Each structure stands twice: as C-alpha cells, then as structure tokens.
Structure 1
Amino acid sequence: MKRDNTRYKVFGIFLLSIFGFMVSAQQSGSQKVPLGDPFILYSEGQYYAYGTHGSDGIEVYTSDDLQTWEGPVGAYNGYALHKNDVWADQWFWAPEVYRVNDKFYMYYSANEHICVATSDSPLGPFVQNKKQAMIQDEKCIDNSLFIDDDGTPYLTFVRFNDGNNIWIAELENDLMTLKMETLRPCIHVSQAWEEEWARVNEGSFIVKQNGVYYMSYSANHFKSPLYGVGFAKAKNIMGPWEKFEGNPILQKPAGLVGVGHSAMFKDKDGKLRIVFHAHQSNSEIHPRCMHIGTVGFEMEDGKEIMTIDDDFITPVLK
C-alpha cells in the first residue's frame, strides 16, 4: 500500500517555519545597537542614543532601560538629522545632543567640519537655518559641548595640526558661534600607549568633579584593536591639562577590541555612565556597536582619578 506523505510534508514545513521564526526572533533580539561614536541623552524618562552609522545623516534609537532599544526612530525616516536639512552631504559622525532651555542642540561632524543643528524634539528633525560649518575654512571633527557652573559654554573639538589633537574655545550665548579669540590647545599625543597606530587624540568629553575638570578622550586609530580611552585633568578648563599616568583606563575590556570614542551621561538614578563603541568582532570592524559602562572616582596615591568599571552592558535591539 502506497503511503500518503502530504500531511507529513505540510507538518514538516510548519515545524520548519516555526523554527525559522524562533531563530529569526532570537537573532533580532540579540542584535547589538550599530552605532559608532555613540552618545546617550536622558530626557523626561527616555534615553536617546545617537551615533555614526547612517550614510545620509544621524539616526536615533530609544530605550526605557538602557538594555533594550528600538530604532532607528528619527522624525525623518529614522534619521534625527538628514542631509537635506543641513550643510554637507556625507560623513555624518560623532553626534552629541543637549537640551538647553527646551531646545535641543546637536553637535556633529559632517564632511570633516564641525557643525551644530537644532530641533524642538530629541527625535528631530534637526535643521540648520543657516547651512554652514562652525569653522568654514578649516577641517575639524568631534565637537563636544560643556556648560560650566557659571553658565559659560565651551566647545572642545579635534584639529588636524599635529595629527588629531584636542582644542577648546568659548561659545557665544547662542551656543552656535565660536569665540575664536579664546581658542586654546588641550592635549595631543604624548603617552606611549597612544602611539600604536597614527597620532590620534580625539572624542573628548568633559565632566566636572569636586571643582576639577576631567576630560575623557580616545587614542590610536579607530581601526586599531588598541583604540582606547584615557583621561586628563585640569583646574582651569582652558588648561593646562594633565594626562593620567595610568592611562588607558579602558582598552580591550572582557574581549572587546577597538574600544573608544566615549561620552558620559547620568542615568535615571543619577549614576554617571559612559557609552562607547567597540569593533563588531575581533576580525570585523563594522558595524561598530554600542556598549555602556559606569564611571567612578577614587583616590590613588593621594590624587583623585577617574575609573571605568569593567562590568559593562551590551545593549540590544528589540
């Protein structure tokens, strides 16, 4: 008697489809957030992550808990900032977003120039009413805002006059115009760990602790597995800046490589956190992915230093 296998085939296809769905869902649930040069803004109970990834602008992702993220969810087809609304049409890198007086300011690099755009929402769209770079006649990258206790705004950024090195200048009250007469150098390649590949000090970010300014920064080429994070201190924000002799404070943690271009933020509990990227794997650089650690301060040999906890989290997409 010939056996009818039709129902068995249908059942087999059903099982395979269920298995495929489960695998797909599992892979989707464990997909890392694909952001290089990441930055996290916490505003009104919501976390917003921005970074280098999209070719046409800056994407944004959202989260309630830092661990699980959705996106991209920007106002412009996933983009918080799109090239149609701003100067330049390529190389949108290293965004940082700040809320000041109910307006959101995005500082970012485009076509190797520093720029700033504004929006009424952290989701965008961020636009430039005057489409131009902050410094039109010089290539610079990695601009980062710091507003001091007295309300004075400053911008740190990378110039290319000694490899990649970090400078600082005051801003006008519009938070968009540099006071070029205040421009001062901060740090440049000067420690042995920074000379593995290329002359690079970049990705600066400043916090203030007990009246002292701490600047985190990254060194080595971003393609290097030894890309890492160090810090420098200053009693005056305009310098001089002194690097920590024990740098780097973050390099190849728990198997990650290419770790760097960090930014700091306070989470919903007031804890100081640091967000940074790492290479996709030991063999692949892109897409670089976002990771989050915890920042601390402790005494060492009578001096206060910045530390980064090795117990980081690796956020995933829903």
Structure 2
Amino acid sequence: MSVRLSRLLSVLITVPWVMTVALTGAASASGQPGDRITTNATYHNDAGVVGADPHVFFDEDSGYYYAYTTKGADPGYRFGIYRSPDLVTWEHVPGGALDVDDGTQWGHDWFWAPEVYHNSETDLYYLFYSARLNENVAEHFRHPDFEEPSKLGVAVAESPRGPFRNITDHPIDYRPYDPEYHDVNQIMGPEQKKPPETLAEGRTAPLGTYIPSIDPNVFFDDNGRIYLYFSRNAYRNWVWDHERGKYIETSNIYAVELTTEWWHDPTGRTMPTVRPRYVNANKDPQDPPGVRKDGFTPILNYRSDKQEWENAHVNDYRESGGELKDRRWEEGSTVVKRYRNVDGKRVPVYYLLYSANHYKSSEYGVGYAVSDSPLGPWRKSDDNPILRQDPRLPMYSTGHGDVVRSPDGSELYYVHHGRPSPTSNRRLYTERMRFLPEQPDVSGAASLAIDQSVGDEPIPSGVAPYSLTTDESLIDVGGREPTELRWTVSSAAGAAMDLSDPLNRVAVTLGPSSSVVVDSDADSATVSGDQAGVTALTLRYQRRRAGGDHADVDNIFAAGTAGERHEPVAATIPVVGCTSTITGTRTAALRIDRGVICLKGATVTGPVHVASGASLVAVGSTIAGPVRARDAGSVWLSDTTVSGPVDIRGATGLVRLDGTTITGPVAVTASPAAITIARSVVHGSVTLRGNLGERAISVGDNIIDGLLKCTGNASKPTDVLHPNSVHASSSGQCGKV
C-alpha cells in the first residue's frame, strides 16, 4: 500500500533558499531607525505577457525576478523565460529554458509547469519540469499504449537565463505505483472515456497502476530537508464517487522527500533521488526481480476533504455528448511556511496553494490547505477558493501561480496565469497576497487572502528607490554632428526597467526654447542642431496607469518626524554648443570672456570668472577657487566641487547648481533666468535676492550650513516637495522652504 509518512519535527536551522514567510520591515533609506523609502509608482495587470503555469523567484545576483512559464519560448526551445525588476513589467528573455536539440531531451511533448531554484552556495540553478514520454513507455508504465506517460525531469544552468541542460537524458529515477487502484482502463472501451457503470464492475479490473506525474514543486524546509510535491495526472485515476454513483477521473497531489546530495554538488551533475524509504515501498513480494514500485505520500484529494467548488467538470461526459470525461483536478501546488506564536513558542504552519478545475473553465481557481508538517495531514480552508473568476473584472480562468516576496521581504505576491477574455491565451497576473492572523482558521492558523485587481496598485515594496542614469552628462552640439544619448531606469537592486514595455515611459522635454532637435525612442535619443547658448534636456520616468494616462514617478523618502521628501526619477542634462571644452587640469585661474566654456571631468586650480554674455557649464569637475559671474549668460554646475563662494549676478540664461558641493556662500541676485539649486551641499549661506524674471526658482533637497535668505524675487522660491536641511534658519520668501 502507499506510504503515509509520520509528521516531521521542525528543527530551526535557517537556510537561505527556503520559501519561509518571515516578513520584514521596509528597507531603510539612510540606515537610521524609522527611515523608509517608498514611491508613488503604481502597477496594474494589463495582461500583456503570454505565459502559463508561472514560477517566479528573485535572483539576488542580478536584481531581477525571473518567471518561467509553460508557454512563451522561442521556436526550438521549451519554457518561456521572462525577467522583471518589479514583478510587473516583464521582459522576454530570448530563446527559452531548454534547447530541444541539445541531445539530452527525454521528453516528447507536454512540457509543463517549469520551476527554477537557485543554490546560492554553488551558484547553480535547477529547473524541474514535467514532460510526456514517447519512447520506453512500457518500461515506466507497464503498458505501451499508456496515453499520458508524464514524468519529471531536472536540468541545471549557471545562469537564470539558461541555457539549462538536463543532468541526465532520462527523468528522475522514481516509479510511483498505486497497488490499491483497480485499473479500470483495462476493461473500458477503445475511446477510454466511459468508465464502468458500477463500483462492482470496476473492482473486477486488475489491481495496480504506475502514476504519471506533472506540476513539480520543490520545498526546501528550514531544517535542511527537501520535499518534492507533484500532481498525479487525472488519467488512469478513476475514483468512485459514492454521492454521485459513478466514476470520476481525478487528479491528486502527492509528495516524496528527496535526498540532499544533488543540491550540494558543486558540479551540478548529481540527479535528485527520492529517499530510500520510498524505493520499492509498494512492491509485492511476488513481483519478479528488477520490478520497481515506489511509494508516495498522499497530500490532497477530493475524497478525504470534499469541497463543492472542485466539482465543475464532474458531468462533462453527459454535457459534452461523450466528447469529454467526467473529471476533477487538484494540481499546480506551491508550498510556503510561516510561524505563529502559541503560548510563547514559534510553531510552524505550512500552506499549500493549489488549483482546481480545468484551466480553460470559468470555475478554474485557487484554494489552499494548511498543515503543521510538510507531509500532512493537510486540511483545506473553508474560504476556498481564494482566487477565482470575478464577474466584475476582465480576468478569466485564474489559477496555477507561485508565491514570491517583494524585494525588501515585507510583502507577498501571487503571480498566476489568467485570461483577459474567455478565448484568449493565458497571460501573467500579479496579485498581493496576505496572511490574516486576525482571521484565524479553526486551528488558530492565519487565513490567507489574494487581492485580485486590474486597477492601480502600489508597486511592490523595495523596488524603489528608482534611478535614472544617462551615458552622457553633457550634450555638446557645437560640433554640428548629432549626439547619441542613452538612458536607463533601474530599481533599487540595480535591475534595468524594460522601457519598451508600454507600462514604462521616459518623457523627454527640452527648454528653454531652442533650435535643437531631439529624436527619441524608448531608451535613447539623437540630439542635433545648432545651440548658441545653454538649454536643458530633461528626462522624466513615468508609468502608465490603468486608465491609460501616464504619471510622473517620484521616490519618496520618509524619516521619522522629518516628513516626506519627494525626489523625481529624472535627469537634467545641459545641451550646449561648447566654444571650448576642458577635460584635464588647468593650473591657473579661468576667465571666460565670450562663448561657452565647458568643463567635463576637469580640474581648475584657481578661481573662475564669467564675464558679460559668456557662459560656464561644469559637470563632474573640481574648481579650487570662487566662481563669480557678472551679467553672464548661463552658469551650470552639476556634480561639481567648488572650493570657495559662488556669486552670480545678472545672469540672463539658466542658473543651475545640481549635486554640487560648495565651500562658501552662494548668492544669486538680479538674474531673470530660471534658477535651480538642488541636491547640493553648501558650507555657508544661500541668498536669492532681486531675481525679477517670471521663470521658476526652485531650491530643494539641499544641505545648507548657514542661512537661507530669499527677498525681492518675482517668483517665490519653492522646494517642490523636496525639503532642505538648513542648519541656521530660513527667512523671507524661503521661510517655509
């Protein structure tokens, strides 16, 4: 008979690859208690990515989430691979997980339900999957005409992008056998769709059948033990339903414990095997030598824990006029572990999510079961299904997903497949998943909820802060040749957003007005034209909302009682026709009498004076002396260090101090230009006085050691939700900046 294993004792030995749910607080922005980073970015399920049976994991080495799907591979490959910085904007990885021509393929078709696990110690990635044999069928299933001979395979790679290569050219050496099953297919007609009419007739069928396996799921417990969950194909598993008085072909979920040697093999050449106690556990003493009949542990089945929602297809034979079989499905499992406090002790609780009913059905959905041991007994939740087709939402046939944490570990998500219409292909959806300890089940375990949505939802915690970087810090159009500019938007983990995805966009603006032409696409632009003075090219990261509009994305920094500080995910680059460009060291003072002098990664060992009508643009440079400008055009200092005061009077062009450190006071007076002082450190006071132009004056996100004084300006200075840190006081028009 089949093996029912006893409960396991939980030994609390933490291992890094366990899907144990221990939610943490959000990441700290500055390392200070209470500091946190969020964003106003949102996502919505736009059903833009084709995929089925998704398995998702976060790859810390690359900062990307990787999703592996039954569908989505390029021709010549099995299993689609996608990557995402945020669990939402998925970028297709060319090719697929398995190369069909690599010489190791034992499967013929029905390549289903891939799952990938990363061992951080060996840095190897293991792909588990199911496929159907077309050779040696009788060797594995006794009957050469066995219609659904599905087995489980394992491949390995050194990268989550693959290519994965089968460890061996055969499936896992595991032959699960059910000795108590009456194999009624042997007494059924040639179409194999109508079972015996009575239980008595069914019991005349020969005993015993080998079990076809699909939908593998590997659970790494935090005591170091490894479990393989899988679904027994509904095929050749006709179960008598006493209430309905007929046979129904049924899919169940089983499990075995695996050995661990394969996981710790640094070469990745060891095939996973089941624990010895399963091998031949169901063999009869009368069986001839060489026969394998392995055991298994039943996990979920309808008969022992009946739920009505799983009965959507029990009358399909009659309703289809004999085209379909009467069937039930319990498959697509994924297991997570959580701890709860009972009388001061940490008690483990295991949750198994599964899908029921046919994947094309409107009744297809997700339920869960709970246990205090990986091998059960399991009890289904009374709240099932917790994910199903909602008539209020354009999301159909929802099921078979995977549980994954947000980047900072504070949230859980369920990534599953569904359809945007009843007839479309399956697509990927991402939903927030929550444990509800305030709503426990009968055993005291927290209940589980999945928040199904196609509206705007907060981006997963820990994706932010975003960064927008460019490959050029200055665009010089003075040479009359077009300049190429490329940009990247990255997550906090350093993973690049796919800017060709319709959910992402970088808006490009140029101003003040200019004769320069900018021809842009998703992640680059060509800048051409003749620019006499200085203008600004601004890039602003945006995300599309569910309503179709795009919204600017900010990083939001909050530190205790200091309030929120919004930082646009943006970059502003000077566009200028440089009269001369200095890139090395100038061992003297610099006087600019005409045109535009550009400093790019330069060092000036003396003061800089900008005369009437002339302009200075310095990026990534060092100036060992004061900067003074009188009736100049533009003064632009970006990511620059100035050892001395900055005094700008009467500038007619752009004035911008951005990411600059200044040892001394800053004064901008009588200048009608747009003025920006941002992200800078000023070791002195900042004075803005008598600037009578109508253009905006912004002073935000600065650290100012002295006073911040603003008087007589036509435009009132603003910090644009980026408060300054002023060590002395703010006064005048800057009293609240």
Please list, as runs of the form range in 1=range in 2, the aligned pairs for 1:107-122 lying within 5 A after superposition: 107-111=128-132, 112-122=150-160
Render the CA deviation track for 1:16-58: whole Å, top value 9, x for unaligned: xxxxxxxxxxxxxx77110010111210211111101147411
- Quick one: structure 1 residues 312 and 251, their matched pair in 2 at CA, closer, same or farther if it must change by over 3 Å? same
Asked whether the 8 Å contact 2:64–2:85 carries over to 1, the reply is yes
Please list, as runs of the form range in 1=range in 2, the aligned pairs for 1:26-45 lying within 5 A after superposition: 32-44=48-60, 45=63
Q: In structure 2, what is the Cα distance between the partners aligned to 1:225 and 1:200?
A: 14
Match of 2:308 among 182, 192, 195: 192
Match of 1:240 in 2: 377
Check if 1:154 corresponds to 2:154. no
Equivalent position SS for 2:309:
helix
Check if 1:202 corresponds to 2:221. no
Check if 1:52 corresponds to 2:168. no
Please list, as runs of the form range in 1=range in 2, the aligned pairs for 1:14-25 lying within 5 A after superposition: none
Asked whether the 8 Å contact 2:356–2:364 carries over to 1, the reply is yes
Quote the offset at 1:267 in angstroms.
2.2
Equivalent position SS for 1:258:
strand
Unaligned runs of 5+ in 2: 1-45, 133-149, 176-209, 240-249, 264-271, 280-294, 314-326, 340-347, 460-497, 502-737
Quote the offset at 1:249 in angstroms.
0.3
Q: In structure 2, what is the Cα distance between the partners aligned to 1:116 and 1:122?
A: 14
Match of 2:694 in 1: none
- Quick one: structure 1 residues 280 and 113, their matched pair in 2 at CA, closer, same or farther if it must change by over 3 Å? farther
Q: Which has the higher contact order (CA 8 A, sep 6+)?
A: 1
Please list, as runs of the form range in 1=range in 2, the aligned pairs for 1:124-135 lying within 5 A after superposition: 124-134=162-172, 135=174
Please list, as runs of the form range in 1=range in 2, the aligned pairs for 1:61-140 lying within 5 A after superposition: 61-73=82-94, 78-85=95-102, 86-100=105-119, 101=121, 102-111=123-132, 112-134=150-172, 135=174, 138-140=211-213
- Quick one: structure 1 residues 313 and 97, their matched pair in 2 at CA, closer, same or farther if it must change by over 3 Å? farther
Question: Aligned pair count?
Answer: 283
Asked whether the 8 Å contact 2:394–2:420 carries over to 1, the reply is no
Asked whether the 8 Å contact 1:167–1:184 carries over to 2, the reply is yes
Q: In structure 2, what is the Cα distance between the partners aligned to 1:164 and 1:200?
A: 5
Match of 2:273 in 1: 177
Q: In structure 2, what is the Cα distance between the partners aligned to 1:115 and 1:313?
A: 38
Asked whether the 8 Å contact 1:81–1:126 carries over to 2, the reply is yes
Render the CA deviation track for 1:89-124: whole Å, top value 9, x for unaligned: 322111111101311011111112211111111011
Once structures 1 and 2 are overlaid, which stretch shifts more, 58-67 or 143-152?
A: 58-67
Match of 2:432 in 1: 294
Match of 1:143 among 206, 216, 230: 216
Quote the offset at 1:280 in angstroms.
4.3
Asked whether the 8 Å contact 1:170–1:178 carries over to 2, the reply is yes
Q: In structure 1, what is the Cα distance between the partners aligned to 2:329 and 2:454?
A: 25
The residue type paired with residue 58 of structure 1 is F
Q: In structure 1, what is the Cα distance between the partners aligned to 2:217 and 2:370?
A: 16
Equivalent position SS for 1:300:
strand
Match of 1:274 in 2: 414
Equivalent position SS for 1:150:
coil
Match of 2:404 among 258, 265, 275: 265
Unaligned runs of 5+ in 1: 1-29
Asked whether the 8 Å contact 2:440–2:447 carries over to 1, the reply is no
Asked whether the 8 Å contact 2:67–2:81 carries over to 1, the reply is yes
Q: In structure 2, what is the Cα distance between the partners aligned to 1:113 and 1:170?
A: 17
Asked whether the 8 Å contact 1:292–1:312 carries over to 2, the reply is no
Q: CA RMSD in A?
A: 2.2
Equivalent position SS for 2:109:
coil
Asked whether the 8 Å contact 1:59–1:81 carries over to 2, the reply is no
- Quick one: structure 1 residues 68 and 301, their matched pair in 2 at CA, closer, same or farther if it must change by over 3 Å? closer
Match of 1:309 among 451, 462, 465: 451
Equivalent position SS for 1:66:
coil
Q: In structure 2, what is the Cα distance between the partners aligned to 1:169 and 1:93?
A: 20
Equivalent position SS for 2:310:
helix
- Quick one: structure 1 residues 31 and 247, their matched pair in 2 at CA, closer, same or farther if it must change by over 3 Å? closer
Q: In structure 1, what is the Cα distance between the partners aligned to 2:455 and 2:82?
A: 16
Render the CA deviation track for 1:192-222: whole Å, top value 9, x for unaligned: 0001023100000000011100000000011
- Quick one: structure 1 residues 312 and 41, their matched pair in 2 at CA, closer, same or farther if it must change by over 3 Å? farther
Flag as ranges the 4+ runs of structure 1 deviating above 3 A: 135-138, 311-317
Q: In structure 1, what is the Cα distance between the partners aligned to 2:354 and 2:211?
A: 21
Quote the offset at 1:184 in angstroms.
0.3
- Quick one: structure 1 residues 205 and 94, their matched pair in 2 at CA, closer, same or farther if it must change by over 3 Å? same
Asked whether the 8 Å contact 2:47–2:429 carries over to 1, the reply is no
Render the CA deviation track for 1:115-166: whole Å, top value 9, x for unaligned: 1111111011111131111236642100001011111000100113351100
Q: What is the identity percentage for the equivalent residue pairs of Structure 1 and Structure 2?
A: 36
Quote the offset at 1:313 in angstroms.
7.4
Quote the offset at 1:84 in angstroms.
2.7
Match of 2:717 in 1: none
